[in-house]
Structure 1
Amino acid sequence: MWLIFKKEFMELVRDRKTLIFMIALPVLVFPLLIGGTIFFTSNALEDAENKVLKYAVIGNANVADINSALSEDGSMLERVTLTAEQDYVAMIQADELDFVLEVPTPFNSEVLESGQLAINLYFNDAGLNKVYQRVSAILTPLSEEYQLQAFRALGLSESQQQAIVTPMLINRENVADNREVWGERIGAMLPYFLFFLCLQGAMAPASDMGAGEKERGTLETLLISPMPRYKLVLGKFFAISLSGVIAALVTVSSMALWTVIISQGLAVGFIVELLSSIGVLDFVLVFLMLVPVVAVFASLLLSLSIYARSFKEAQSYMGGLVMVMIFPIILAMMPGIELKGVWVWVPLTNVALAMKELVKGTMDYVALLGIFGSTALIAGILLAFSVHWFNREKVLFR
């Protein structure tokens, strides 16, 4: 068994493609995904914030207060005069205009006399833009000034004004600390990256040890050796599992390292605070929980690989396995599903829930017994199925 393990692992180490999935992919993918997302999102938001907006005012277009408010931000706004024949809705859809303000006629700033003033803002909100936010930022101070004028006309004190604007004030007192708040948001995505990269780390060697052996014609040589079939399976299983465990270890280390680097470079203090609040034990438990998960993946991948007629067919089967892996992670993200009761025993979903609880700092460590037990049981059943598969000539020589 250990000779098979040594042989298979040495072949993995010599294979450049396997090293990419085991080491390069976990180290590079995480920073590229996070850093790329932050970079492009920041650039898009900055472009939307600094874009010179073309606009027009229709209806009562000569309201001095509105024109004055818009002209104060004149360097970022460009006014266009429309004729009666021009279709401003079509112009907005064609990107010839960014927004149009329709001002009511008549327009009376004495809101106690005129009532509420309704100004219609036409813009295209299908893409990433900040038209509504920027126009609101310009007109909101004007609306507040009209409000103060009405309060002064009514002779209301400041406390009476506040009571009218907000008759009942609800003060939010969140008893959860920052780690729990941000852990709930970030921790739910952690299993997605970890499971995916561990699966990718085990997929390449699994394809080669089953379907690859068939294509090269070396499987028959192994089968005629005096070694029992189950030892042959265990040797391949441990090699695939080690590949996935290395990918898991590199992934966890890479995520911790690059998150600190990215957050410090972008001055995202809450991420540094969150990581500093997570203890070493929690990081170790995250890694240890990935070990039985990798065993599940390794057993299942080995069975699919030995069933496939060719390397290409094995890759197609394993591609579908990614969709199966996503389902338990989605379950863990659904509201109302917590690491309690029956969910402690649901394989993969319980690990995803536990990772979120570890990041939040609310982990019930007693539940680890059920998590490790159920996941190890599934891995053992799948491994036994792989041994059964290897004992069937119809499967080996399809």
Structure 2
Amino acid sequence: MWLIFKKEILELLRDRKTLFFMIALPLLVFPLIFGGMFYFTGKAMTTSQTESLTYAVSGAQYAPELMAALESVDSLARIDLSGNLSDKDTVAGIISRNEVDFVLQIPNNFSNDVGQSGQITLKLVLNDAQLNSVQVRIQEVTDKIESMNQRNAFANLGVSESIQAAMLDPIIVQKVNLADAREQTGAIFGGLIPYFMFILCLQGAMLPAADIGAGEKERGTLETLLLSPIDRYKIVLAKFLTIATAGLTSALVTVISMGIWALVISVQMPMGPVVEFISAIDGFDFLLVFLMLIPVVATFASLLLALSIYARSFKEAQGYMSPLMIVVFLPIIVTLIPGIELKGVWAWIPLTNVALAIKELVKGTMDYVQLIAIFGSSVILAGALLGFCVYWFKQEKVLFR
């Protein structure tokens, strides 16, 4: 068995394409892709939210103080337009022709005296498909005027500041959160980590699996291997260990890559909370996160080997394996549903239990007793799939199907 395992590993190391998916992809390509995506997305959103916008106003004469406050905002530039800016169709045409970015319609009852005017409605007409935070910018201006008008109204009524606060916000709900910073941050990121790990483990094991099963059929080397005086189950175990080694290597490189890039980002960018969150996870939990990938890799390796042995050709094997990428999403999505925890039946569902366990480890709330169910269910599933592989290897149709 170990002789076959050594042979398969040597052939694996000679395949540059496989090495790329096992090492280069998780170490360099994925971090660069996702890092670049987050960087450019953040930069684009920041630019769009701070870019200078043009606007026109209907009823400006009714609110001189509001107009003065708007004109003091550097990122807003007023343009005087002719036409009835209170008419819906006229304003729609102006916006569609990009003459201005938005139109502010001020009613004729606008007044800073709340007791006289009552509640006032300002209409902001715009194409809100752009991420330029128009309403947020206008709200910042109106909030200041609103606060001043409220204070003046209460002062005219002779209401003290404490009563003012009670009238504006009569009931306050004070939240006392017993969750620490690690648990809160882990609840957010803990569900995303298995997503990347599972995909990379599967990607790293797919090519070796397709090659050492269906690939050997096409090359005609499987017949020679089956004629050798080696038990069929040993051949299956050797191939299984080869695929598992590829998957674990990809997983290990992924964990190392995540650590390196997290360190680089923390040095280059002010990410104190992220650094504190990572430093709160002790070495034992980091080790368990990696060990949690063993049942995942065992499941993937046995399933991929079964598909590869069943397939007639390398191309057919790839056709069987490609949909697994979609299948892997399902157990991860389940972990993001509120109320789903690593308890009861969920602790026995393969892949889902591992994703939940990684989430709990990151949060620091792991129930280590559930490790029995996690590894037990994975052993049962992987054993059943390996049993199919051994059965199929003992059939002549493994070659002639």
TM normalised by structure 2 equals 0.95
Tell me, yes or no, if structure 1 residue 294 matches structure 2 residue 301.
no
The answer on whether the counterparts of 2:60 and 2:67 sit within 8 Å (CA) in structure 1 is no
Which of these residues, 382, 385, 390, is aligned with residue 382 of structure 1? 385
Structure 1 window deviating more from structure 2 (267-276 vs 42-51): it is: 42-51
- Structure 2 unaligned segments of length 5 or more: list them: none
How far apart are the structure 2 equivalents of 1:114 and 1:78? 26
The residue aligned with 1:123 is 126
Compared CA separation, residues 118 and 306, structure 1 to 2 (3 A): same
- Name the counterpart of 2:6: 6
After superposition, the Cα gap between the structure-2 partners of 1:62 and 1:82, relative to the gap in structure 1 and judged at 3 Å, is farther
Amino acid at match of 2:138: V
C-alpha distance in structure 2 between counterparts of 1:109 and 1:300, whole Å: 71
Equivalent residue in structure 2 for 1:167, among 170, 183, 186: 170
Shift of residue 61 of structure 1? 5.3
Whole-angstrom CA distance in 1 between matches of 2:80 and 2:306: 68
How far apart are residue 309 of structure 1 and its match?
A: 2.4
When the two chains are superposed, the root-mean-square deviation of aligned CA atoms in Å is 1.7
Match for residue 216 of structure 2?
A: 213
Contact 2:9 2:242 in 1 (8 A): yes
* CA shift in 2, pair 1:317/1:160, >3 Å: same
What does the per-residue CA deviation read over 1:328-361, in whole Å, with 9 as the maximum and x for residues that have no partner?
1111111111011111111111100000000000
Q: Which residue of 2 aligns with 1:341?
A: 344
The aligned residue for residue 42 of structure 2 is 42
SS in 1 for 2:292: helix
1:98 and 2:105 aligned: no
Worse overlay, 349-358 or 73-82: 73-82
**Counterpart code for 1:5:** F
Q: Matched residue of 2:142: which SS?
A: helix
Equivalent in 94, 106, 111 of residue 114 of structure 2:
111
Aligned-residue offset at 1:373? 1.1
Q: How does 1:1-398 map to 2 (within 5 A)?
A: 1-59=1-59, 63-84=63-84, 87-398=90-401
Deviation, structure 1 residue 15: 0.8
The one-letter code sitting in structure 1 at the alignment partner of 2:9 is F
Relative distance call for 1:225 and 1:282 in structure 2 (3 A) is same
In structure 1, the gaps of 5 or more residues are none
**Residue 164 (structure 1) shift:** 1.1
1:102-158 deviations in Å (ceiling 9; x for gaps): 111232221111110100112222232211211211221111111122111111111
* Cα distance in structure 2, aligned partners of 1:95 and 1:182: 42
Give the stretch that moved more between structures: 308-317 or 110-119: 308-317
* Preserved CA contact (<8 Å) 1:88 1:97: no
2:136 maps to a residue whose letter is Q
1:38-83 deviation line (CA, Å, top 9, x unaligned): 3113211221232111111124555212211111114543434242
Count of residue pairs the alignment pairs up: 398
